[in-house]
Amino acid sequence: MIHAESLTRKYGDFTAVKDVSFDIGHGEIVGLLGHNGAGKTTIMKMLTGYLEPTDGRIEIDGIDIGEDREAVQQRIGYLPENCPLYPEMTVVEFLEYAAALHDVPENERPGRIREAIRLTELEDKALAPIATLSRGYRQRTGVAQAILHRPKILILDEPTNGLDPTQILHMRDLIRTLAKDATVILSTHILQEVQAVCERVMIIRDGRLALDARMDALGRYPRWVVVSDAEGGALEAALRAVPGVRDCRVEDAGDGRRRALLDVEREAADALGPKLARRVIEQGWALFELYRERRDLETIFGEISNGGVAGHA
């Protein structure tokens, strides 16, 4: 459904997005994560045709966006982060205007508008001026305009921004419903939203794709932590030799101690603790700590933000 190849976007001497490639299939719900300035919004604007890549290409539903941008845009529903609306219009008036912009056939507009209002639970505010709406209702109005034309691809930038807990739960359900017929890309700063609704996560760091993995694969390689007084090189070599250990990185833990971070095979993880302890003790080293570290999205996001690169899974 979406094919992005070597996407790069420069603003003068500054490169906001650097050689990013990915494929997203029909019906996937993909979370796009990264700190402010990481390049998330620039990627979304390139996917929607709002910005042209400096280099690379984008193909959506088999159409090269550089060759027929309008045809691609007809297939996309987009909610920008700032949710631009016309405050002097009522909700219905704005959706009528949006339907015309989306080129929805005139005879279908009333039904499409009713459907969008129902899906976003805007019935009580349909005739209210947008200027009188709370932030949460404005956000829902923005989502309503994005789904009016029943797009094949839905790109939502911070869709739960300003919503209360009940509205957030409804938005999650709505995204799952929409994904039955469309591909959804969800950009957010809230890790819990990605964990709640997304099947796949892409993390952007400094304009590059640092992680592209399915949510159910994030814990594929658990981690054990060993803290000892051994010299770093010797500790790394000894622990790497333990069957089931994929990788080992040693860092200074202070007070003459070293901390070894061990990525291990999932199948071996449960039984690895005694083997690691035995290896340290057999070498005559002190064992101060030995524990299995929880590897979830929050942990991985923190590692990448601090300079690690998790890659693809």
CATH code of the domain covering residue 184: 3.40.50.300
Please, which residues have CB within 8 angstroms of residue 227's CB and are 6 or more apart in sequence?
253, 257, 258, 259, 260, 287, 288, 289, 290
CATH code of the domain covering residue 271: 3.30.70.260
Domain boundary among 216, 244, 267: 216
Domain boundary among 197, 216, 235: 216
Q: Which domain holds residue 281?
A: 223-295
Q: Is the pLDDT of residue 296 over 80?
A: no
Is 46 in the same domain as 168? yes
Q: Has residue 279 been placed in a domain?
A: yes
Whole-prediction pTM: 0.77
Is 135 in the same domain as 71? yes
pLDDT in tens, 24-53: 999 999 999 988 888 999 999 999 999 999
Strands 208-214 and 311-312: parallel
Give the tokens for residue 139.
Answer: 């956000």
Q: Has residue 212 been placed in a domain?
A: yes
Give me the pLDDT at residue 299, please: 80
Shortest CA distance to 41 belongs to which of 74, 75, 78, 13? 78
Shortest CA distance to 248 belongs to which of 136, 239, 197? 239
Exposed e or buried b per residue across 43-81, where buried means at least 16 C-beta atoms within 10 angstroms of its C-beta = bbbbbbbebebeebebbbbebebeeebeebbebbbbbbb
Q: Quick count: other Cβ atoms within 10 Å of Cβ 117?
A: 21
Domain count, the chain: 2
Q: Has residue 228 been placed in a domain?
A: yes
In this prediction, residue 219 has a pLDDT band, given cuts at 50, 70 and 90, of low
Give me the pLDDT at residue 12, please: 93
DSSP 241-280: TSTTEEEEEEEEEETTEEEEEEEE-GGGGGGHHHHHHHHH
Give me the pLDDT at residue 220, please: 64
Q: Has residue 61 been placed in a domain?
A: yes
CA-atom Rg of the chain in angstroms: 24
Is 288 in the same domain as 195? no
pLDDT in tens, 117-145: 999 999 999 999 999 998 889 989 999 99
